[in-house]
Structure 1
Amino acid sequence: MVVFENKAILKLLLVCVFVQFSVSAANFFQPFNVTYDHRALIIDGKRRMLISGGIHYPRATPQMWPDLIAKSKEGGADVIESYTFWNGHEPVRGQYNFEGRFDLVKFVKLVGDNGLYFLLRIGPYVCAEWNFGGFPVWLRDIPGIEFRTDNEPFKREMQRFVTKIVDLMREEKLFSWQGGPIILLQIENEYGNMEGSYGQKGKDYVRWAANMALALGAGVPWVMCKQTDAPGDIIDTCNNYYCDGYKPNSPNKPIIWTENWDGWYTSWGGRLPHRPVEDLAFAVARFFQRGGSLMNYYMYFGGTNFGRTSGGPFYITSYDYDAPIDEYGLRSEPKWGHLKDLHAAIKLCERALVAADSPQYMKLGPRQE
């Protein structure tokens, strides 16, 4: 009888622990608002300078995710960034896949569990050296479709997928105002590189994409990268090796660096790319010195193009990218450690730097400022 009672008590305790864990795991933060002014992103009423690390969830196994996120946090990241991958999530029209390497909800929740924020770049065209730029192959067979322009069949399918992702994040309570980690969303991707080839239809498409995204009521700011004509309520952002001189198209928007290329992809038979960490660290320090608010390493972990997901001429399966965490999930030194020290130094200056509305720098001599 005593044994039975002890077992009953043990079961009750286990149930209580499970319930407590479930409750705590579902509430990553107290609900908070994300806004911005001309100087910075504003999180819960405070201007912030944020360091973000890019990790594409399908380029790692789910078993790797916790360690990758933990190493990113240890290295000084405040934010994890990823695209979504339409052709992985909807390989057949109307049939969705959010399992295994494509379990986006699980990945975002793991980020929140570690006390980090999330930048979700929906696209749905993402490039990313990913097969078909992330578009599902069935998309090309829709009658009358033209990709990424003011075309009704394309806009209808794009809106349907973007709505699916935003609704899923809302249902799972993953936006900041719900106590989740998502603080920023991205619509489209580097469209400014090709907008001119579409003429007026390209301009109309940009306005439509922005208005469509805003109308979804996600409750966090949206960005467009490499998009100098991003409409008023969308933050235009920089993708490049250096963004210390970048200015958005409105004095009311903060300076955001969505892709800091810390390496590059590799083609079959080509040389392995390498960006010296000294150059990378200087670029990051100068960006924040000159008024930057958020900088994202593309990539912090590159990973692997599993199966046939590699999407470029002779791109190999490795997407190591000379990132601070290598393809196998190991710290790549000296890059990881050097950047960790840099991030710690930047954080020491954060409050002072964001307090200045218009950062000023002075020339002290050759190569000194």
Structure 2
Amino acid sequence: MDMKTPLSLALVFVSVFAVYCFDHALSTTVTYDHRALVIDGKRRVLQSGSIHYPRSTPEVWPELIWKSKEGGLDVIETYVFWNYHEPVRGEYYFEGRFDLVKFVRTVQEAGLMVHLRIGPYACAEWNFGGFPLWLHFIPGIQFRTTNDLFKKEMLRFLAKIVGLMKEEKLFASQGGPIILAQVENEYELVEWAYGVAGELYVNWAAEAAISLNTTVPWVMCRQEDAPDPIFTPNSPSKPKMWTENYSGWFKSFGYPIPHRPVEDLAFAVARFFEMGGTFHNYYMYFGGTNFGRTAGGPLVATSYDYDAPIDEY
């Protein structure tokens, strides 16, 4: 045997072993107990802030995220906007302001974590709540209930986003920054209108999310009846999480500019932690701009400044 052969085999073995160890060293486990999120076996008290990637441009993402880190944040929270990622059924768009992968990677490069609110209903004063317009024209569809047509489309988009994040190795278990995911949003506000169908839909949405195997916990914003293991508010077996502490409010044409005194905001945060909270999010930390026709809701202005810690400009 050539003397080079054992050396070559040894080098190949070392290289494969190094890659294996590197990949596994980067992986992060995210679980929870009754007190807090548990990351790599340690309870964490986390400060988070909302930055919606399409409400700014890729050129300023690094600056916004670094300023957020300097402000003491551990996590960046964002919605995912279905109507711009799938403007035509089956045709996807992830470029420019809608380059979700680039945004998540930019957060990771700053050493921060991500809470990805996939929804796909967002609200967020965004046009049609984030739903694509073509969804409305599917005959027989009914949104956010036990309608098979809607559930099929919702699950397809959830799977698309989760699949993309997995492909790019962006979940914590893959060495990525995503430590939390969210299905649906503020459904409790409308669930009563659907009655039993609403309750069944909540259970279906939870099961659909868990079936995607993200390896990170899922939340439902303000959903008291969310089934295990989805986070529910004020549960003795789940950590106290505040995903939307409003730093201000959105602007509307013809109305005064909203303002929340910083002293009031700071007191609310301190009070939350004093009461046992361990995950807090400023909504918004940077509000940004409603470009084009993205604003949704009566008289919502182009500016989405939100009186946030980092202002629009």
- CA deviations on 1:29-88 (whole Å, 9 max, x unpaired) are 821100000000001110011000100000001111000000000000000000000001
Matched, 1:64 2:60: yes
Matches within 5 A, 1:83-94: 83-94=79-90
After superposition, the C-alpha distances for 1:170-223 in whole angstroms (9 at most, x for unaligned) are: 000000011000000000000000101001100000000000000000000000
2:237 maps to which of 240, 247, 252: 252
C-alpha distance in 2, partners of 1:231/1:210? 7
Q: Which residue of 2 aligns with 1:222?
A: 218
Per the alignment, residue 133 of structure 1 pairs with: 129
- Determine if the alignment matches structure 1 residue 310 to structure 2 residue 306: no
CA-atom RMSD in angstroms: 1.4
Alpha-carbon separation, structure 1, partners of 2:206 and 2:145 = 13
Look up the match of 1:299: 284
**Aligned counterparts of 2:278 and 2:163: Cα–Cα separation in 1:** 28
Question: Counterpart of 1:292 in 2: which secondary structure?
Answer: coil
Task: Quote the Cα distance in structure 2 between the aligned partners of 1:223 and 1:255.
Answer: 12
CA shift at 1:146, angstroms? 0.1
For 1:109 and 1:86, the matched residues in 2 are separated by 20
Task: Using the aligned pairs only, state the percent identity.
Answer: 68
- Could you tell me how far apart the structure 2 residues matched to 1:300 and 1:184 are? 18
Residue 169 of structure 1, aligned match among 165, 172, 183: 165
Answering whether residue 263 of structure 2 is matched by residue 278 of structure 1, we say: yes
- The alpha carbon displacement at 1:289 in A equals 1.3
Once the two structures are superposed, residues 126-159 of structure 1 have per-residue CA deviations (whole angstroms, 9 ceiling, x without a partner) of: 1000000000000001111000000000000000
Question: 1:236 is matched with which residue?
Answer: 232
Other structure's SS at 1:236 match: coil
**TM superposition shift of 1:312:** 0.7
2:98 alignment partner AA: F
Distance in 2 (alpha carbons) for counterparts of 1:62 and 1:187: 25
Q: Which amino acid aligns with 1:259?
A: E
Aligned match of 2:5: none
- Cα distance, 1:269 vs structure 2: 1.2
Q: 2:201 aligns with which of 197, 200, 205?
A: 205
Aligned 1:1-369 pairs, distance under 5 A: 30-237=26-233, 247-248=234-235, 251-328=236-313
Task: Give, as a single letter, the amino acid of the residue that structure 2 aligns with 1:295.
Answer: H
Aligned position for 2:4: none
Q: Which runs of 4+ in 1 moved over 6 A?
A: none
SS of 1:177's partner is: helix
Cα separation, 1, equivalents of 2:167 and 2:262: 40
Number of residue pairs aligned between Structure 1 and Structure 2: 293
Residues in 1 aligned to 2:255 and 2:141: alpha-carbon distance in whole angstroms? 36
Q: Deviations over 1:244-283 (max 9, x none)?
A: xxx23xx211110010011001110110000000010011
**Structure 2: tracts of 5 or more residues without a match:** 1-18
Q: Which amino acid aligns with 2:242?
A: W
Q: Distance in 1 between matches of 2:26 and 2:121?
A: 32
How far apart in 2 are the matches of 1:106 and 1:32?
A: 20
- The answer for unaligned runs of 5 or more in structure 1 is 1-22, 238-246, 329-369
Give CA deviations for 1:212-240 in whole Å, capped at 9, x if unaligned: 00000000000001111010100024xxx
1: CA distance between counterparts of 2:192 and 2:110? 42
